[in-house]
Amino acid sequence: MQLEDLALTMTPGLGTKGIAHLLEVFGDATQIFAASREELLHRAELRPQVADELLRKSGFTMAERELKHCASHDIRPIASTDEEYPPLLREIPDYPHVIYVMGDYHALRERTISVVGTRTATPYGQEQTRRLVGELAERIPDLKIISGLAFGIDVAAHRASIEHGVRTAAVLANPLPEITPTQHNAVARDILRTGGALVSELHSQTKLKGVHYLSRNRLIAGLGAGCMVIESPAGGGSLVTAQYADDYHRTVMALPGRVNDRNSIGTNHLIRTRKAQLITSASDIIAELMWDLGENPASFREKPATPELTRDEAGLLNCFRTSDPLSLDELHDLTGVDVGELTALLIGLELAGAVRQLPGNRYLKL
């Protein structure tokens, strides 16, 4: 992590996507600040005002203050170009270039799953959260639970993780080292004590305007290999997180609830509209995330017996020439087959155990 990394995020006129674009063009923050005005304007296609801010190094004074703040509060800033940066988070298009971490950054890596839900959780929702985290803890030794330390399901997920010896990370919508809500200070201390982490994309000089919760939700979605929704009304932050996860091609899962329960309207809708896979146990979750196939599914998967396929199904299966998933649109372009007919063929391949549907209408050959 260089001073330039912090200064880049504090340069007026640059947002997360603008910074991601500059990094794609120049490689790292040092090279961005070394670029000429002509390179910034023509190679990176920046607006003149933003290019001038970079050339004036407008963010460096704030960056120096931030480094002192981090040092005095045991906060570790990690840039997206650092090895310690969570690989899954780097995959999303609007990743933050710098995250601020207290605790062990390893709690943001490896086999992570995001757990979200309503702030007004019922005893049923809290108990199911505890049960599912406990079942996963027994099956997945390197499990990490990501949530937002909010009231309800979030804090239930963190507490269940601590109870079952699972490292957990809380993504906050405020700068560190402050904890929001303050009622969860003790839980935050327990998270750190048990090898977990607190993380935020906001530096200490951020002016809070109450608009950072939605941005925080995208980080919760981006840090997880999958997103599990436990209890949600018709509207709420957990459904926003689920939408982010779906947009990022992460597996979205939902625990069903009673049809007349207000806190189950959102989760049941996700399942009914096929935005989420129905899960009731750790086995369901593990299967959806393909964690039962080893670290490298292509290497560890036991090859199934050749299924009996129709001629059209076999032809479609031949389109999967690599281990990479293909989207419905890509298959349509490859085959020229009508989307309705294509969908029927894919269902046949799924029933034969030849392919598996992934989030975002993508399919993986088994």
Task: Check residue 211 and give its pLDDT.
Answer: 60
What is the assigned CATH class of domain 105-293?
alpha beta
This prediction's pTM: 0.79
Separation between Cα atoms, residue 54 and residue 61, nearest integer Å: 13
- For position 209, what pLDDT does the model report? 67
Residues 40-46, mean pLDDT to the nearest whole number: 93
Q: pLDDT category, 296, cuts 50, 70, 90?
A: very low
Which CATH class name applies to 1-64? mainly alpha
Average pLDDT, the chain: 90
Q: Is the pLDDT reported for residue 335 higher than 60?
A: yes
Is the predicted pLDDT of residue 81 greater than 80, yes or no?
A: yes
CATH class in words for 303-365:
mainly alpha
Predicted confidence at residue 210, as pLDDT, reads: 61
**What is the rounded average pLDDT of the residues 265-288?**
92
Asked whether the predicted pLDDT for residue 280 surpasses 50, the reply is: yes
Sorted by where each begins, the domain ranges of the chain are 1-64, 105-293, 303-365
The per-residue pLDDT for 306 is 45
Top-confidence residue, 60 or 311: 60
pLDDT at 304 over 60: no
Which whole number is the average pLDDT over 94-107?
96
